[in-house]
Structure formats: structure tokens, C-alpha cells
Amino acid sequence: MAEQEAPMRAEGLLEQIAETALDDDYYVVRAGSYADSREFNTPLTGLVLAAFALLVVIAAVQTRNDRPATERERDSLISDVAARKKVQASREATAERLRKEVADLSASVGQFDPAYQNVRIETGDLAVTGSGIRIVAGDSTQRNTDGVITDNDLQILVNGLWYAGAEAVAINGQRLGTLTGIHFANGAINVNFTDIAPPYTIEAIGESDTLLQRFENNPAGRYWASRQKDASVQFGMTPSSDLSVPAVPEKRRTIHHATAIKGEE
């Protein structure tokens, strides 16, 4: 029985050693460190929260202070836009009034100044109706090289009509003005940058009797008589009391100036 009590005492001793492996002072020190840590963290946390609260307050105050300035700027922009709209409306009204005045003045000048009307007719700014001669010219039917009417032929014809006293001339409905060109391009004769094709109908406003006679007697008339005889081109002139020629296209009534390009410095 003494042998059984010996192992039991050994087991109890081992359990006591395990339970008292750490000194009691360890637990005391450990408990004190935890308390110090809590005492240290509590003020730091409070300081962080106070700093965060201060930042929130500053942001709120800044936003409140900036809001009136933003609203004033917005109101200023709205006022500026409204003022500019009023100025634009005023200028548009002024421009419209001036356009009406110009139109009224132009109408009054046309009514009371015959010289002004004559200038507009001579420059091709107005369509013209009246008596004159109609000329029809076409290529020869004999298929020879000389029987094809060229731009030079039409230039001589038109110059002869001006020389004979024509007031207005049109070729295939294209009124001739001071800026009109007659030239060959892209396989066709071009007038006012518009291609025309034979037969060519030339209408000239003027005194039909004297216009016809003067054309036949001037160099252009003799040139065309020779062309008709030698190359068998088609050419016929007929007096008419009811001719109408349109105005010169607007693009051919305005002079455009080239502008020099400044070089890089």
C-alpha cells in the first residue's frame, strides 16, 4: 500500500509545479502593464478625435464662408449674360433698321434718278427688256476644222455688238458684264464660269435698225461674214422688238482682291 501512495504523491507534485511555473510577480507585472497601456491609449485616442473634429469644423466654416462668394459670382455671370443679350438684341434691331433705310434709299434713288438706273443697266445689275437683234451662230455642218466656232469668235462677235451700240448682251442666257470672261475650258466654251454649247444664241438690246447696220459695217461684222463664207459656219441675225436678258450673276458683279500672306518672322 505504501508503494501505491508513492506514485500518487509524485503526480500531485508534478501538477503543483505546473500550476506554479510562473511566479506570482509575473501576473502582478502583467496586470500593471495592461493598465498602463490602457491609460496611454485613452489620451491618444481623445487627441485624434479632437483633431478630426477640428478639421470637420474648419471645413464646415470654410464652406459656409465660400458659399456667398460663389453665389455672388453666379449672380454676376447671370447678370452679365442678360446684359449682353440686351446689347445683341439692340444691335440686331439697329442693323435691321439700317437695312430697311438702305432699301428705301435704293428704291427712292431708282425712282428719281434715271442716271442711276442707266448705270445699273450698264453694269449688268438689272435685267433688261426691249428691242434689239437676236443672233444664232453654230458650227459648220461640213465637218471641217475651221467650221468650229471658238471662244475667240464669240469674243469678236460680242465686241462688235458693243461697238455697234448694244446696251446689254447675253449668250445662251448668260448676261455679259464688266467681269465676264469668254474662254475655252474643259472641252467647252465657258461664260461666267458656266459651260455653253452650240448653237449659240446671242441677244443684244439696242436700237434694232441701227444696231444691225452698225454691226454689219464694223470689223466684227466683216469678220463673221468672212467666217460664214470661208468656213460655212452658221450665222443669222434677226431684229426683234421683244428681247429679254437677265442680270449678271452676283458673283460676276463683285471685285475680289487678293490678300498677301505675311511671312513668319
**Using one digit for the tens of pLDDT, what is the confidence trace for 208-260?**
889 999 999 999 999 999 999 999 999 999 999 999 999 988 776 666 556 66
Phi, psi of 203 (to 5 degrees): -115, 130
Which grid cell is 240? 426683234
Q: Are residues 180 and 234 in the same domain?
A: yes
Between CA 168 and CA 130 the distance in angstroms is 10
Q: Are residues 102 and 194 in the same domain?
A: no
**Using one digit for the tens of pLDDT, what is the confidence trace for 36-87?**
545 545 667 777 777 777 787 777 777 766 666 677 778 888 888 888 888 9
CA geometry: angle 109, 113, 119, nearest 5 deg? 95
Q: Are residues 63 and 145 in the same domain?
A: no
Q: Are residues 131 and 235 in the same domain?
A: yes
83 within domain boundaries: yes
User: Parallel, antiparallel, or unpaired for β 234-245 and 194-196?
Assistant: unpaired
**pTM of the shown model:** 0.54
Q: Are residues 55 and 102 in the same domain?
A: yes
| Total number of domains in the chain | 2
Residue that terminates a domain, selected from 79, 112, 145: 112
